[in-house]
Structures are given as C-alpha cells and as structure tokens.
C-alpha cells in the first residue's frame, strides 16, 4: 500500500507541475525565442532593392522577420482599405499614401517621402523599332507598353504626354498617335520587362530604377527631357495606425533610410531623400 500511495503522490505532483507550466505560458502569452514578423506592403518597382534591404535588416536584427508583399501601389492601398493586416506601407507616389492618411489608416507622424525616381524610355537591346527618343513613340506600328492610369508609373506617363500635347513641337495629334500604339497597360512595372525581353513590345515608359543590374545588357535606355516631367516620382513610406509592431517598424524604416539602406537604393537607380536630423 505504501508503494501505491507514493506512486500516486508522484503522479499528482507531476500533474501539478505540468499545470503550473501551462499556466505560466498562458499568462505571458510569449514563447522564448519568438519571432516578430513585419508585414511590409511595397510598390512593385522596389522589389529588388527592398528584397536586399530586408535580408540585410534581418541579419542585423535577430528575432525580426520581414514579410514583403510587392504589387502596384493602388492594389496595395485597396487591400489595406479592405482590412489587410499591414505594418508598413511603401507607395510609389503620394496620391495613394494620402488617400490612406485621409481614411485614418496611417500613423501620420511616421509618413515621410524617402525616395525620388525618374521616367525613361526602355527598349530591347537590339531595338527592333529603331527608337531614338520620344518622337518615335508616335511612329506607325510601334508596340508600346505603359502603366494603367491608376498605377503611379502610368499616371506619370500620362502627365508627360499631356505636357507634350501642350508643346507645339508635338501637339495633341502626337499624344493621340502614341496612345494608339499602346498594346498593353500594366498594373505593375514588374510585368513590363518580360514583354520587352520576349519581343512582345518595342518600347515602354518606366522608371530608371526598373532596369535591374542583371538586365542592363539586355535593354537600352533613353532619358526623358525634364521639361516634360511635371514632378519627379516621389516615394513615401509610413507605419499603419493599427500596426502591433511599431517599435520594430520604426527600426526597419530607420534602416531603410540609414547608410546601408540608402546605398542599396542608390545602387538600384533610386535617389534617396536624406532623413531630417
């Protein structure tokens, strides 16, 4: 009987210890070594640069993982407006960021412009349509790819064409001829380059930064005169008002705007805007 009682006491003791351990875990709600995941909705034109920046940030910040969603700014904005759980939004223009601020989705104090970009004409390296500049976009038979009017690089393209239409050297007939040559309107810049390299398009109007380091020998770039650009593309970023990881989000933004992040962005063809002291 003594042995039976002792065995019973041991079993009860083990159950009590296990229950206390479970209670302790329930009270804290955390597990040692738990990883914080930052969800960063990012304009598609930043895919290469932010992928590299994310890896560098994770290497220096143990316990923080960065989960990127790359897409057109307008698509990302729509997802946020419909309840997507996001920590940071990075837009390719102020329009979509301001719409989210007006809707109360952003922590306004964290929203800031951090990059500038430029538009350019891009053709395949062999340039089958013989493009030499903007005038050639109106030539009959040219296959042109641009962005939709709702995506930033498409909006900037239309602003440029409107400015050219107001210039007697080109005029409204030029703008109409260019738009007649459009064979595809894309919702993200990442859809454009494959069409050029596969020979499906002769030319596109994209950002200078969209010509990746790996593709520079496969494409030819023609700069666009500044007088036809109403404003340079400006990229803002900021933290969502409902983000549960604001400390980590602030650290990530500081890294993006710091020496390492700025160097990566410059290497990809962007122009970082210095952070205010």
Mean pLDDT value of segment 54-60: 97
Q: How much is the pLDDT for 211?
A: 80
Specify the CATH number of the domain 119-228: 3.40.190.10
Confidence band, pLDDT 50/70/90 cuts, at residue 30: very low
- 64-111: per-residue pLDDT in tens? 999 999 998 999 999 999 999 999 999 999 999 999 999 999 999 999
CB 224 within 8 A of CB 121: yes
Say yes or no: do domains 36-116+234-272 and 119-228 share a fold: yes
pTM comes to 0.73
Q: Is the pLDDT of residue 7 over 80?
A: no
Q: Is the pLDDT of residue 16 over 50?
A: no
- DSSP labels for the chain? -HHHHHHHHHHHHHHHHHHHHHHHHHHH---TTPPEEEEEEEEGGGHHHHHHHHHHHHHHSTTEEEEEEEE-HHHHHHHHHTT---SEEE-SSHHHHHHHHHTT-B-GGG-EEEEE--EEEEEETT-TT---SGGGGGSTT--EEEE-TTSHHHHHHHHHHHHHHTSTTTHHHHHHHHHHTEEEEESSGGGHHHHHHTTS-SEEEEEGGGS-GGGTTTEEEEEPPGGG-SS--EEEEEEBTT-S-HHHHHHHHHHHHSHHHHHHHHHTT-EEPPPP-
Mean pLDDT across the chain, nearest whole number? 87
Q: How much is the pLDDT for 277?
A: 53
φ, ψ of residue 182 in degrees (nearest 5) = -70, 120
Query: What strands, in cross-sheet order, belong to the sheet with 88-90?
Result: 64-71, 36-43, 88-90, 234-239, 112-116, 271-272
Mean pLDDT value of segment 241-265: 96
Q: How much is the pLDDT for 19?
A: 43
- 40-53: per-residue pLDDT in tens? 999 988 999 999 99
- 205-251: per-residue pLDDT in tens? 998 888 877 777 889 999 998 899 887 889 999 999 999 999 999 99
CA 6 to chain centre: 65
- Min mean pLDDT across 8-17, 83-92, 146-155 is at 8-17
User: Superfamily assignment of 36-116+234-272 in CATH?
Assistant: Periplasmic binding protein-like II (3.40.190.10)
- Hey, where are the domains in the chain? 36-116+234-272, 119-228
């Amino acid at each position: 009987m003594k042995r039976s009682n002792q065995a019973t006491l041991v079993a009860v003791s083990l159950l009590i210890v296990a229950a206390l351990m479970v209670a302790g875990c329930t009270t804290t709600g955390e597990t040692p070594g738990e990883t914080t995941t930052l969800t960063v909705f990012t304009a598609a034109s930043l895919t290469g640069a932010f992928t590299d920046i994310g890896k560098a940030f994770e290497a220096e910040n143990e316990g923080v993982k960065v989960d990127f969603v790359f897409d057109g700014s307008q698509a990302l904005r729509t997802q946020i407006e419909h309840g997507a759980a996001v920590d940071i939004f990075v837009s390719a223009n102020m329009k979509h960021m301001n719409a989210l601020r007006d809707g109360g989705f952003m922590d306004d104090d964290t929203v800031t412009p951090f990059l500038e970009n430029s538009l350019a004409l891009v053709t395949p390296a062999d340039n089958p349509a013989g493009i030499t500049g903007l005038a050639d976009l109106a030539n009959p038979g040219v296959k042109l790819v641009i962005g939709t009017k709702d995506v930033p690089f498409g909006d900037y393209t239309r602003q440029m064409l409107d400015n050219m239409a107001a210039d007697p050297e080109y005029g409204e007939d030029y703008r109409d001829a260019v738009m007649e040559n459009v064979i595809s309107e894309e919702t993200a810049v990442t859809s454009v380059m494959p069409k050029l390299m596969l020979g499906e398009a002769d030319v596109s109007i994209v950002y200078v930064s969209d010509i990746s380091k790996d593709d520079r020998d496969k494409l030819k770039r023609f700069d666009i005169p500044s007088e036809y650009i109403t404003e340079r593309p400006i990229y803002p970023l900021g933290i969502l008002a409902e983000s549960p990881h604001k400390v980590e989000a602030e650290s990530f933004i500081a890294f993006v705007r710091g020496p390492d992040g700025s160097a990566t962005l410059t290497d990809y063809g962007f122009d970082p805007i210095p952070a205010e002291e």
